[in-house]
């Protein structure tokens, strides 16, 4: 089992070659991009010399948040609502950076193009199994954001068997949802043909074009496309599973060691952002994401409000830090990933997480 001390040594051992070596580490067969960001920092910025208390002097001028795909789903709302407001009030600019998959995103962390990103447990486990120095330090989502939807007229699993089922990527929780649902209902995760297309809008368009009969899609995309008669909602996986760790915030181990105060502020403010999702009028959340420095899907206010209401009913954002990235929730998620053949084995959770900020 790879320990964290050895992972930290990877940076010194392979230097600049690490960016190339990480490209396939997380098992993401479709990811070949290197992100759109062009920053050259490593999260060690000294921030505002005029620090205005509460640790603000340790914050960087710009904090780059990595996204592993072009879609901004439900769980991206907290960071571009309350979190963005609060960090801007402290003089920090939030810069979103988009990558083509989890593997290029991790490469972006190592090359210094981005400081923090969200990862799924299987993508994190596969990266760490290859010896790359990243850790999860806070939970982002404990409920499935992906829903299963089908082409109009597909109303049973028998009609899906043997057909093309479209997923985001092999190491995404789109794949966890889809493959486990196929296994649960058809007895074998290989009972369908898989195709990988990044981005909910792109997968929905593929269903409309007849390239497949079923897919996973973010709830907002499902509700929006269903209104237009393009797809139909098929099932909600949250009805079948208890809460588990499905997305987490992650960064390099050396970033956590070198910038403890900054990451503590990040964790504290992000938790406040989760709480704000449950407390604020949802129409205000919609207005904030519509004006965010990143492109959320252009759903109607009604679709977004319905999407957030369902996500909050599913308790997507965990409010109790003691319930973040626990052994039980992380293991449950990885066991699903193992069954879906996204990882070879369930690793020791202590090798994946750093709980110093919880």
DSSP 8-state secondary structure symbol assigned to residue 57: G
pLDDT digits (tens, 9 = 90+) for 297-340: 999 999 999 999 999 999 999 999 999 999 999 999 999 989 87
Q: What is the pLDDT of residue 341?
A: 80
Burial 103-142 (b: 16+ CB within 10 A, else e): bbbbbbbbbbbbbbbbbbbbbbbbbbbbbbbbbbbbbbbb
233 vs 147: CA distance, rounded Å? 7
Burial 201-240 (b: 16+ CB within 10 A, else e): bbbbebbeeeebbbbbbbbbbbbbbbeeebbbebebbbee
Q: How many angstroms separate the most distant Cα atoms in the chain?
A: 64
64 vs 222: CA distance, rounded Å? 29
Q: Which of 48-62, 96-110, 124-138 has the lowest mean pLDDT?
A: 48-62
Enumerate domains of the chain plus CATH numbers: 12-143+244-351 (3.40.190.10), 146-239 (3.40.190.10)
Q: Which residues contact 246 (CB under 8 A, 6 or more apart)?
A: 120, 121, 141, 142, 143, 144, 145, 173, 176, 333
Predicted TM-score (pTM) of this structure? 0.79
Q: Report yes or no: 178 and 167 within 8 Å, Cβ to Cβ.
A: yes
pLDDT digits (tens, 9 = 90+) for 208-219: 999 999 999 888
């Amino acid at each position: 089992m790879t320990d964290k001390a050895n992972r930290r040594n990877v940076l010194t051992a392979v230097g600049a070659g690490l960016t190339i070596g990480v490209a396939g580490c997380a098992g993401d067969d479709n990811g070949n991009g290197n992100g759109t960001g062009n920053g050259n920092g490593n999260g060690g910025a000294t921030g505002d010399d005029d620090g205005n208390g509460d640790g603000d002097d340790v914050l960087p001028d710009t904090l780059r948040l990595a996204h592993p795909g072009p879609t901004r789903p439900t769980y991206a709302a907290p960071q571009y609502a309350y979190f963005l407001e609060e960090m801007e009030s402290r003089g920090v600019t939030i810069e979103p950076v988009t990558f083509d998959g989890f593997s290029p995103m991790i490469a972006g962390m190592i090359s210094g193009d981005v400081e923090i990103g969200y990862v799924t447990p299987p993508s994190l486990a596969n990266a760490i199994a290859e010896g790359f120095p990243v850790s999860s330090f806070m939970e982002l989502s404990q409920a499935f954001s992906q829903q299963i939807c089908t082409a109009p007229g597909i109303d049973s699993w028998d009609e899906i068997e043997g057909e093309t089922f479209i997923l985001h990527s092999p190491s995404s929780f789109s794949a966890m949802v889809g493959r486990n649902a196929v296994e649960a209902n058809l007895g074998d995760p290989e009972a369908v043909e898989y195709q990988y297309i990044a981005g909910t809008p792109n997968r929905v368009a593929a269903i409309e074009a007849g390239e497949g009969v079923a897919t996973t899609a973010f709830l907002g995309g499902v509700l929006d496309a269903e209104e237009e008669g393009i797809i139909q909602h098929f099932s909600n996986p949250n009805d079948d599973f208890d809460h588990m760790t499905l997305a987490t915030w992650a960064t390099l181990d050396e970033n956590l060691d070198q910038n403890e105060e900054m990451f503590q502020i990040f964790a504290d403010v992000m938790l406040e952002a989760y709480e704000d999702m449950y407390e604020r009028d949802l129409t205000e959340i919609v207005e904030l994401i519509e004006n965010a420095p990143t492109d959320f899907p252009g759903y109607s206010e009604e679709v977004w409000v319905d999407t957030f209401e369902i996500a909050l009913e599913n308790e997507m954002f965990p409010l109790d830090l003691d319930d973040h990235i626990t052994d039980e929730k992380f293991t449950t998620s990885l066991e699903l990933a193992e069954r879906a053949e996204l990882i070879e084995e369930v690793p020791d959770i202590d090798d994946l997480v750093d709980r110093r900020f919880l």
